[in-house]
Structure formats: C-alpha cells, structure tokens
Structure 1
Amino acid sequence: MGCGNSKVLPEASKKGYVSVVQSLVAFSKAHNDDDDEPKKRLGKKRGPWSSTGVKNHQPPSNSQQLTLRDGRPQDKVAKYKDKFDPRVTARYDIKALIGCGSFSRVVRVEHRATRQPFAIKMMEVEAPEGREVCASELAVLQRVSHANVIQLIEVFQFPQRVYMVLELATGGELLDRVVSRGHFTERDATQALRMVLAGVGYLHNLGIVHRDLKPENLLYYHPGADSRLLVTDFGLATFGGRGMRSEVSDVSKRGDQTGAEQLWSLRTTCGTPEYIAPEVLLRRPYSCAVDMWSLGVVAYIVLSGSMPFEDDNRTRLYKSIVRGKYSFHGDPWPSVSNLAKDFIQRLLALDSATRLTADEAIRHSWVVTMAASSSMRNLHRSISRNLRQRASHSSSRCPSSTTSSSDANSMGLGKLMLLEKKQSSIMAEHLD
C-alpha cells in the first residue's frame, strides 16, 4: 500500500439509485420493533498495517468515548453526533468516531436496550457517487450470511443518508494478529487462509465478486485464538462474474453466447493497485478469478511480510503485475515449503482460466493438510522485520499522510481512496 497508492473506484453508473435503497425508511434484517434485541455482536476498532489512511487504535474508555483519536475536543464529536437522525440515536447510543472519508462516516455505537456494541456506517447519498457506493454495498450485505463474512444487522434509510448497522469485530486485522502472536508458522497461515477461502467461496457461489481483498479487509471477530476471520469492506463488491471454468466450458459447449457474456460481463477497472489482477489492468472482461489473484497476493504477504508486486512508480507496478513478475527470493522464502509456494503460484497465474477457484484452493494439499509436510520453523521474526521495513519506507515517502482521502469500509476500518482521475485513460498507455 504505502503513500501514493490509491484505491481505483469504478465509475458511477448512470442508472441512479438502485431500488434496493429507494423506499427503505427503517429496514431491519431481523427486527421491526425498536425494543427488540438485536443479534449479539462484540467488537472494537482495528489499525491498518500500512502507514496511510485512518489510524485506528483500541476502543476508547468511557471517559474518552466522545473524543476523536486526533485529540479534538468533545464538542466536535457532539456536533458530529447531531448529524445523526434522531430515529437512529433513539435506538443506538453514539460512542466514538471510528473513521471518515469521501462518502461515509463510521461510529462505534451501543444498542440502548441491550448495551451491545455495533458499528454504524453513515453513507451520504445525495451525490451520485455516494448513492452508487451505498447501493452496491447494501445490495451485497443484505444478501450474505456466513460465519466468515461481515454481517449486516439493520439499515435506516433517509433522503440524504443511509445508516448501516454492522457487527463489530474485536480481534484486529489479519497481519496485526500475525505480528502480535510472537510465533507464526505455515500451519498458522493455513488456518487463517482456510477461513478466508470459506468466506470468499461462499461469496463466489452467490455470484458476488469482492474486488478489494487485502489484509486490511480481513478481521478477526474476537481476540481469542479460536476466533473466526471475517471478510469485510464491500464498497467495491458487485454481482456477476461467475466465470468458473466449468461454467464457461458448459456455456461454450452449448454455444450460449448470451450466457457467456453474462459470465464474463465485468469490465470496470477498480481495486487497490498492488492487489489488482492483470486482466483488470488490461481492461479485459473478468470474473471472480480476480479475487483469487488478490488472495495469492495476501498469501504471499502473510508468509513473508513483503509484497510480490510493489513499486513507487505506478507504471512499473502495473507492468510487473501484467507480466507476473515476482520472486521467492530473500528471507524467509528459503524456509517456506514448496507446497506453500505452489499454492501461491497457482493463485498468481496470469491466465485466469488456470487460476485456482476458491473451492479448489481450499482443497489444495497445503491447505488440507494444514502444512503438515512443511517445517515448523517460526517465520515471525522475518515477517515482522519485513513489515517494519516496508512501513518505514512508506513513512519516508509520505510523512504527512492524512485521512483526507480515506473512507471507512463496512466495518469503518478500511480505506476507500479517491479515484485517480486519469487512471482509466492512461492505463493502456502505461502497459504498452
């Protein structure tokens, strides 16, 4: 990630505000009465492992709950709190601002009746871009229900704003957990990746493409060792792209051109640069296989603390991605098993048709055996050192990083960066 790396957002659709949030005034996924008890969710904020974006720390104490993390006084938070619709504050007590950005503000809240903590993501929907992001994210979240996917609790919709109530994870980011453990092996990596693959496989079977999978968007539900890992941040997610190889093959055999177009209809260039699949950069039709490429990048980072594709120059970065130019050089790769490297290589396949699907990846020998054939060498020191070096490099490149270009994810903890205005027009030229 680092300074200067922007999330590339899809262009706003001309269809306007989709019907999923047109007539909703106070929709609840599981409750209709204000006195009903919502599902019990526990949570706290998380902190990004890179040097940019919103800086998140531990949940504030009672005496600090109405103070922003940057030290601004309570009256600033109180003023912000006043922006919430009274029908929302009648049900939830606003505790602390978690993150803010272009289209949304996210706060930690407590249900007034049960005192259970949640996150509320308030989306501004007057602007077309805000409406599109909100509608897309809400359409996905209302559809999903899986142990390894962030859960939507209820929604309040008003003309200018939409409030999404979400479960709040307490266990921190994937890489935070890796660093804090003090001991990390390939077996630990497979345990985490199995949960991520289960969630991603569920999404893909519903025809949902996440399009922004990265460590910051993978959160543990609670601090315990037995915590489930959640896929979060559906701001760029979309329906479509169910281009599994078997489906494409079946369509091809039938000669069903309409079906083929539906399976491979995604074309929008979006995502976080270091994690974007080559077919997206080349502006070719793509499918849910783009998520599997991103998971290959995630697996590489989890095992090494470094990134397979990284360059301060965006043009060189894109070229290395479309060429699949990465290596297993440097510490700790000599101590990482061949099965683990095979797993990564089969996810970072340039040909998306040969890339592992989520169902295939979770059945890969390295994952199934939980790295039983690998050494039990502790990779923690090498991973932590590489992460520190990378963070230091990022900090030296942009010492004045702020939250001005960030937006909260569905947990209020990710970064939704501003669109690079000339990105799509110069992409092909960069890759020549």
Structure 2
Amino acid sequence: MGCGTSKVLPEPSKNSYVSFVKSFVSYSHRRKNFDNEPQRCKGKQKDLWSIGVTQLQPHIQQTTAKDVQHGDSKVARYRAKFDPRVTARYDIKALIGRGSYSRVVRVEHRATRQPFAIKMMEVEAKEGREVCESELGVLRRVSHPNVVQLVEVFQSTRRIYMVLELATGGELFDRVIAKGQFTERDAARALQMALAGVVYLHSLGITHRDLKPENLLYYHPGADSRLLVTDFGLASGRGWSMMTTCGTAEYMAPEVVLRIPYTCQVDMWALGVISYILLSGSMPFEDDSRPRLYRAILRGRYSFHGVVSGLIHVNWGGG
C-alpha cells in the first residue's frame, strides 16, 4: 500500500482490551455497509461460511429451558426445509447463523458422526443467486489449511446446500477477549496464519474484500488451533482491477473509500488494521460520523494509547 510506520507498539494491558470490547460492541450495533454499495453488499448480515461455537462470556445470559425449547423448534422448522438427499446423509443439530439469503446449521455426518456446517442458500431471488454463485465460485477453487474448506454441494431448484468444515474455536476477536491480551508472539502467530490464507487466495486471483476479526475463525478451541479465513460473500475472483465499493467501513482501504480502481492490496490494508487491533486493543480508525471516519482513513492518522507512554500520535503521511 506504500504506507507504514516505524513506531514500536508497547505490549497492551487488560484495561486497553476492556476499552476495545466496549468500543467494539458500540460500533458493531450501528455498523452498516457503505451507503452506495450494490444491493448484494447492502443488508449483508453476519453470514459466515463456517460459524464457530464461541466461548460464553460472563455477560451473556444463561440459556433457559424455554430458550432450548425455542431453539429445538427452530431446528425442526429448518430441518423440514432441507432436501431429503441432505438429511439422508447429515443429521441436523442446531441453527448457528443466518444471513440475508442463507441459514447455517451445525450437522453430523450420519455414518462417521463427524461435525460439519451446512449453509443453506435461497437462490430463487436474483440477489441470493448472485451471492451464492460468487461464494461457490471461490470455494470450489480453494484448498488450504488456513481457508475454510468446502466438502460437498447439494443443489435443488430453490436452494443450494454447501457442506463446510466446522470451526468450533470461535472468532479471532473472541480469542483476544478470552486471553485478556495478545502478546506480540500471539499476534505474530495469528497473523502468520491469516497471511498464509490470504497469500494463497491472492495467488489464485481472489480478493476477499471483507477481512476483519469476525471473519477469522479458529478450527478448534485449543491453543495450537489453525486459523481459517471465512465468509467469501464479497470476494472477487475476476481479476486484479476492481471498482465495487463494499466491505466493512472501519477496515476499508483508501482506494475503496475514494471509489477508484483497486487491487488485492486492499486485503493487506485490512490485515494492517487487524494487526493494530491485536497489538493495541483498539481500532485505529473509528468514528460515529462516516465522513470523519473516511477522512481519518484517507489521511492515515490514528492514535495509540500506550501503557507507559500514554497517548502516542502517529502520522502515516496523510494530509
């Protein structure tokens, strides 16, 4: 991207991560996609290819018997929608996610009892069909330890069923919160795995375009788990020059904000933002006002709250 800084970030404290949690929860409620995105970008909800089972945090309410009964009824309702070919091979266990045109359920293979995730996509509407074709186009091409794997596909007139490996270790964000802090060694290991997946995608001409901690999932809860790049709803595999304005605002590269042609380097900018989050416990670019947020991104200005040195202002060469 041609931007960088020689500043060395001090090790974050637990207090900085508490601040990060509060700010993350605040902006996640109000976050929407860019106003001028195409329809497939608008209304895009948290819609992961493989949604992990996250660790319960103290502030989450305990599940009640009524909740369980309600969940069972949902599972039964979605099970009835599944193609008999799918239910003949997989036992539907739980609904674990939903998006604009899809539902994601946890399943078990009836013969091996191995867990998987199935993403059921509605393809009758044009928008749903386009999203499905885009995601399938990417997943059918990839095979890498740090990219979520497509196992098999079932197709009917109204729906597409994608069987995916199931990540049960939670999001990268969840791991940060559970640990209390990320050391430079922890951050380096996580970023090394994320970069391995992204470099592989780029070698195939695929740009993710929506990299963020929510789309990086651990395969299992263990400390030695691999990290998976997931959610290819906005990915592009049609060459290096792109124009579509899409993604999550806080992670957008300047080229995307300016609506000028861009390349796979926008993924590297997003990984830089993720790196900053892991090491500092805060967002480099965040504002309630979209115009101010975009101005901060274009200027490359951000502030870091250190443990010893207090407020450090770093100028990335912006205006």
Paired residues for 1:216-235 under 5 Å: 216-235=214-233
Q: Return closer, same or farther for 1:312/1:43 CA change in 2, 3 Å cut-off.
A: closer
Aligned to 1:322: 298
| 1:276 partnered with 2:252 | yes
Aligned to 2:3: none
Asked if structure 1 preserves the Cα contact closer than 8 Å seen for 2:212 and 2:270, the reply is yes
Q: Return closer, same or farther for 1:203/1:47 CA change in 2, 3 Å cut-off.
A: farther
Aligned to 1:2: 28
Indicate which of 35, 46, 50 corresponds to 2:54: 46
**Number of residue equivalences:** 280
Shift of 1:275: 0.5
C-alpha distance in 2 between matches for 1:191 and 1:164: 30
Asked if structure 2 preserves the Cα contact closer than 8 Å seen for 1:99 and 1:107, the reply is yes
Aligned to 1:331: 306
Shift of 1:102: 1.3
C-alpha distance in 2 between matches for 1:193 and 1:349: 24
Name the Cα RMSD after superposition.
3.2
Q: Return closer, same or farther for 1:76/1:148 CA change in 2, 3 Å cut-off.
A: closer
Shift of 1:175: 2.2
Shift of 1:108: 0.3
| 1:298 partnered with 2:274 | yes
C-alpha distance in 2 between matches for 1:291 and 1:332: 29
Asked if structure 2 preserves the Cα contact closer than 8 Å seen for 1:111 and 1:118, the reply is yes
Partner of 1:82, secondary structure, is helix
C-alpha distance in 2 between matches for 1:148 and 1:273: 24
Indicate which of 114, 117, 133 corresponds to 1:116: 114
Aligned to 2:185: 187
**Greater per-residue strand proportion:** 2
Paired residues for 1:23-422 under 5 Å: 44-46=52-54, 72=70, 74-182=72-180, 184-242=182-240, 264=241, 266-328=242-304, 330-332=305-307, 334=309
C-alpha distance in 2 between matches for 1:315 and 1:282: 12
Residue identity opposite 2:301 in structure 1: K
Structure 2 segments unaligned to the other structure (5+ residues): 1-26, 41-49
Shift of 1:10: 5.0
Asked if structure 2 preserves the Cα contact closer than 8 Å seen for 1:320 and 1:326, the reply is yes
Residue identity opposite 2:263 in structure 1: S
Residue identity opposite 1:331 in structure 2: G
Asked if structure 1 preserves the Cα contact closer than 8 Å seen for 2:51 and 2:96, the reply is no
Deviates more, 1:266-275 or 1:313-322: 313-322
Asked if structure 2 preserves the Cα contact closer than 8 Å seen for 1:124 and 1:130, the reply is yes
Q: How high is the TM-score relative to the length of structure 2? A: 0.79
Shift of 1:241: 4.5
Residues 401-426 of structure 1: per-residue CA shift (max 9 Å, x gap): xxxxxxxxxxxxxxxxxxxxxxxxxx
Deviates more, 1:78-87 or 1:177-186: 177-186
Aligned to 2:22: none
C-alpha distance in 2 between matches for 1:349 and 1:291: 20
Asked if structure 2 preserves the Cα contact closer than 8 Å seen for 1:219 and 1:232, the reply is yes
C-alpha distance in 1 between matches for 2:209 and 2:81: 31
Extract structure 1 runs of 4+ deviating beyond 6 A. Answer: none
Residues 361-393 of structure 1: per-residue CA shift (max 9 Å, x gap): xxxxxxxxxxxxxxxxxxxxxxxxxxxxxxxxx
Shift of 1:44: 4.5
Q: Return closer, same or farther for 1:221/1:76 CA change in 2, 3 Å cut-off.
A: closer
Shift of 1:182: 4.5
Residues 234-264 of structure 1: per-residue CA shift (max 9 Å, x gap): 111111443xxxxxxxxxxxxxxxxxxxxx2
User: Which of 1 and 2 has greater Rg?
Assistant: 1
C-alpha distance in 1 between matches for 2:308 and 2:132: 41
Shift of 1:77: 2.8
Shift of 1:178: 2.2
- Percent sequence identity over matched residues? 65
Asked if structure 1 preserves the Cα contact closer than 8 Å seen for 2:171 and 2:216, the reply is yes
C-alpha distance in 1 between matches for 2:181 and 2:109: 37
Shift of 1:325: 2.1
C-alpha distance in 2 between matches for 1:349 and 1:128: 43
Residue identity opposite 1:205 in structure 2: S
C-alpha distance in 1 between matches for 2:56 and 2:285: 19
Shift of 1:159: 1.2
Partner of 1:219, secondary structure, is strand
C-alpha distance in 1 between matches for 2:151 and 2:308: 42
C-alpha distance in 2 between matches for 1:170 and 1:290: 28
Shift of 1:47: 7.1
Partner of 1:154, secondary structure, is strand
C-alpha distance in 1 between matches for 2:206 and 2:71: 42
Residues 7-46 of structure 1: per-residue CA shift (max 9 Å, x gap): 3495269xxxxxxxxxxxxxxxxxxxxxxxxxxxx99523
Deviates more, 1:75-84 or 1:150-159: 75-84
Partner of 1:96, secondary structure, is strand
Residue identity opposite 1:81 in structure 2: R
C-alpha distance in 2 between matches for 1:139 and 1:332: 46
| 1:11 partnered with 2:38 | yes
C-alpha distance in 2 between matches for 1:334 and 1:186: 18
Asked if structure 2 preserves the Cα contact closer than 8 Å seen for 1:43 and 1:222, the reply is no
Q: Return closer, same or farther for 1:73/1:229 CA change in 2, 3 Å cut-off.
A: closer
Structure 1 segments unaligned to the other structure (5+ residues): 14-41, 243-263, 351-432
Asked if structure 1 preserves the Cα contact closer than 8 Å seen for 2:89 and 2:109, the reply is yes
